[in-house]
Amino acid sequence: MTGTSGRPTARQGQAERSGGTAQQRSRTAGASRRGMLAASAAAGLALFGGTGCGTSSTSSARSGSEPGAGSGGRSSGATSPSPRRTRRRPQLPRGGRELFPRYRMVGYCGLPGAAALGRLGSGDPDGRIRELEKKARDFDDGREVLPVLELLATVANPTPGPDGKYRTRTPEKTLRRFHELAGEHEALLLLNVQPGRAAALDEVKALHDWLVHPDVGVALDPEWDMGSGQIPGETYGRTSGKELNDVADYLAGLVEEHDLPHKPLVFHQVSTSVVSDEKVLRPVDGVPVIKCADGIGSPDLKRATWRQLVDGMPEDLHTGFKLFYEEDTEGSRLMKPEEVLALRPAPEYVVYE
């Protein structure tokens, strides 16, 4: 039985998990939630009143390069030069300029006002972050833990909107609020982009004034990257290795121009079909690219999806793993941190939705 849109219902998705490949079963479970998530995203953003611009004004963006006080060397002669200010190179939230192998990123994702979109969608944000910091300690396995707030900055919608792009940009005040919270908790802010029918690179460029900060990175959701004629919530979108390279190149340009520390680029992947030509992905200085396995289901199903997604992936990619508090526990249970860390290669980014 299918819903009115022709998509499998949640009940059918659960029934079909017993057969087919791991990716097919995971995609069936994912299909049953796509329409609901798209509708929830639209409802959540409506609470903010208007579409928002998704970028900060130049006057409100803090500089990515923070000057530090210091003194120049003194000569051994009678003349003593005046102390001079030295420039402190921008650092990651908890120190240093390289993410890996020093850190393991552990995050919550979501959008305020839309509980169905993830852990950040409900409750007091500051309380959620404290909860995240406690959860992150479970993943301290020889690496320092870096908390991550993955905030939906561009959200795919089931309706076209004024410009026909089937996406809405999260208001500036929300981005600013979460950037401030990230700063207060020494966390990394990841801006998640669901392009709808817009170009992913255009949506990333629209976030320029936030991306010049040393504590802000990008996450792409190709599942919501729609082609012409496709509607979010009705089908899977897709991206390509070239599109991911283009975004990585843009971020690398910002890193070089502003002397920023490593700026992560995450792409979520629920199935091999949503990323074509992955083999053309190439490393870019200053931009670690993280492939985050996004499948839904029991621990055994998630492990099988993981193996299919990481098998044969380009060597220079880093790995991520998403856990779903609700969908993963329908008829099963949430994977334990030690089970996640036992995956090979061990995920360098773990995110809860």
Q: Report the pLDDT averaged over residues 101-125.
A: 89
Long-range contacts of 1-9, Cβ-Cβ distance < 8 Å, separation of 24 or more: 3/35, 5/35, 5/233, 5/234, 6/234, 7/31, 7/32, 7/34, 7/35, 7/234, 8/32
Q: For 27-67, write each residue's pLDDT tens digit.
A: 444 554 545 455 545 555 544 433 333 333 333 333 343 33
| Dihedral, CA of residue 187, residue 134, residue 120 and residue 37, to nearest 10 | 120
Q: What is the distance between the alpha carbons of residues 344 and 298, in angstroms, rounded to a whole number?
A: 18
- Whether 169 contacts 193, CB under 8 Å: no
Which element (helix H / strand E) includes 153?
strand 144-156
Q: What is the distance between the alpha carbons of residues 276 and 336, in angstroms, rounded to a whole number?
A: 31
- Whether 231 contacts 156, CB under 8 Å: no
| Banded model confidence at residue 123, pLDDT cuts 50, 70, 90 | confident
The whole-number pLDDT of residue 115 equals 76
Q: Report the pLDDT averaged over residues 219-226.
A: 97
Cis amide prior to 232 (ω within 30 degrees): no
Residue 239 has pLDDT above 60, yes or no: yes
Percent of the chain, pLDDT > 90? Answer: 69
The residue with tokens 């995110």 is 351
| Banded model confidence at residue 86, pLDDT cuts 50, 70, 90 | low
Instruction: Report pTM.
Output: 0.80
Percent of the chain, pLDDT > 70? Answer: 76
- Whether 68 contacts 222, CB under 8 Å: no
Provide the token pair at 166.
């089937």
Q: Single out the residue of 311, 227, 243, 326 nearest to residue 277, CA to CA.
A: 243
Three-state DSSP at 8 gives strand
> Hey, where are the domains in the chain?
21-48+102-352
What is the second-level CATH architecture of the domain 21-48+102-352?
A: Alpha-Beta Barrel (3.20)
Higher pLDDT, 34 or 138: 138
How many other β-carbons are positioned within 10 Å of the β-carbon of residue 156?
A: 29
Q: For 305-350, write each residue's pLDDT tens digit.
A: 999 999 999 989 999 999 999 999 999 999 999 999 999 999 999 9
The whole-number pLDDT of residue 99 equals 98
